Structure 1
Amino acid sequence: MSASKRHVHIESDYISLDYTASAEQARNVADELAEGFPEFEVTVDDEVKEDAPPLPCARLWE
């Protein structure tokens, strides 16, 4: 997996999701969710999982 790809983990009481995204997309989605949805815990790291799907609508987060 490319070094520019990041692992995005989104969690709340009811969901636990893992995605891959570019560094920019990961940062932007984490910032937006933190601002608008404080009930979500979003972490971004380099632990990219080969089987994780790409971030839905990823181009919106560029």
Structure 2
Amino acid sequence: MRKPRHIRIESGALRLDYQAPAEHVQDVADELAQGLPEFVVTIDDYVTEDLPTLPCTQLWD
């Protein structure tokens, strides 16, 4: 199993927190940086059981 990472996506009052495999989290962060520079994306290892899975994670396979 791939190690999950925490991704936080922020823009103004919007703050979204998800978990996903490290490769997927990095792919999403890279895409957002290229297409939506107003979004602030942070990645870390703070993964908890109640953290939802990144929607549509299978799209990054």
The two structures share one fold, judged by TM-score above 0.5 = yes
Q: Following the alignment from structure 2 to structure 1, what is the Cα–Cα distance between the partners of residues 16 and 30?
A: 16
Paired position in structure 2 for 1:34: 33
2:24 equivalent to 1:25: yes
Contact 2:9–2:42 (CA under 8 A) maintained in structure 1 = yes
TM-score by length of 1: 0.89
Contact 2:2–2:22 (CA under 8 A) maintained in structure 1 = no
TM-score by length of 2: 0.91
What SS class does the counterpart of residue 47 from structure 1 fall into? coil
Matches within 5 A, 1:39-58: 39-58=38-57
Q: Which runs of 4+ in 1 moved over 2 A?
A: none
Question: Unpaired runs of 5+ in structure 1?
Answer: none
* CA root-mean-square deviation: 1.4
Q: What is the letter of the counterpart of residue 29 of structure 1?
A: V
What SS class does the counterpart of residue 59 from structure 2 fall into? helix
% identical equivalent positions: 56
